[in-house]
Amino acid sequence: MNRIGDDIKLQVWDLPTRIFHWCLVLAVGTGWATGGDDSQLWFAVHRAAGYTVLALLIFRLIWGIAGTRHARFSEFVRPWSVVRHYTKQLMTLRPPHSVGHNPLGGWMIVLLLVILVATDTAGLFTAVTRNGIETAGPLAHYISPELARALRQLHETFFNILLVLVCIHVAGVVTDILLTRDNLIAAMITGYKSARGRANAEPAGPAGPVPVIAAILAIAVGVAAVVIITSL
């Protein structure tokens, strides 16, 4: 917890979570920018972006269990009764402050992760012909060419759904900033939120060396999984 002027800042997002978030934004953005290009070079970049997303997703799934307080799924995946109560408050334009993800935002994170997993998984089996040359995901040879080409369509459909969810997510962040005056973007950069309006909130800093070890192991597992998949 830091005091800046008359305000108290709570550490909410740990460094691994923040690095994950912005690396995922960069990787997904790269995948979107290179997905429709017929160049073999750009397809290679697109594929590398997909591998990066896969490693990041594996890391986040592990970090959702082993990470610091507000990175854990158990902290931000709230029951329906809590989500419903929060939604009613949101409809009055007076949502309460949330230290980590608000109840709606927590479920949006889960939905985004699910769609990202579906998109990336379909991409691993995808085959596409570009300028008369067929390129494919690392697992496409395990299925029929017809199914591999069909999965390309599914891969694109999932990605389009992802884009819609990203727009909703961004709109939710902007809405939260306007209604609660919490600068969520700055918080995901610095890791800190203002303590105003949440006097009973607990800071969520790393608890000793265990989260650091867990972060290293989670990254290693993600990278190892990608290496194994791409070598099959």
In a domain, 42, yes or no: yes
Per-residue pLDDT of the chain (232 residues; tens, 9 = 90+): 455 444 567 788 899 999 999 999 999 999 999 887 667 788 889 999 999 999 999 999 999 999 988 899 999 999 999 999 999 999 999 998 888 899 999 999 999 999 999 999 999 999 876 666 677 889 999 999 899 989 999 999 999 999 999 999 999 999 999 998 888 999 999 988 876 655 444 444 443 345 788 999 999 999 999 999 999 8
H helix runs in 35-144, sequence order: 40-66, 73-76, 80-91, 103-124
Domain with 159 in it: 15-230
Contact 22, 197 (CB under 8 A): no
In a domain, 1, yes or no: no
In a domain, 3, yes or no: no
- What pLDDT, on the 0 to 100 scale, is given for residue 48? 94
- What pLDDT, on the 0 to 100 scale, is given for residue 155? 95
Q: Quick one: CA dihedral 226, 228, 230, 232, positive or negative? A: negative
In a domain, 4, yes or no: no
In a domain, 129, yes or no: yes
In a domain, 67, yes or no: yes
In a domain, 178, yes or no: yes
* Three-state secondary structure of 107-138: HHHHHHHHHHHHHHHHHHCCEEEECCEEEECC
Nearest Cα residue to 166 out of 13, 59, 25: 25
- What pLDDT, on the 0 to 100 scale, is given for residue 137? 87
In a domain, 9, yes or no: no
- What pLDDT, on the 0 to 100 scale, is given for residue 192? 86
The total of structural domains in the chain comes to 1
Whole-number Å distance between alpha carbons of 187 and 182: 8
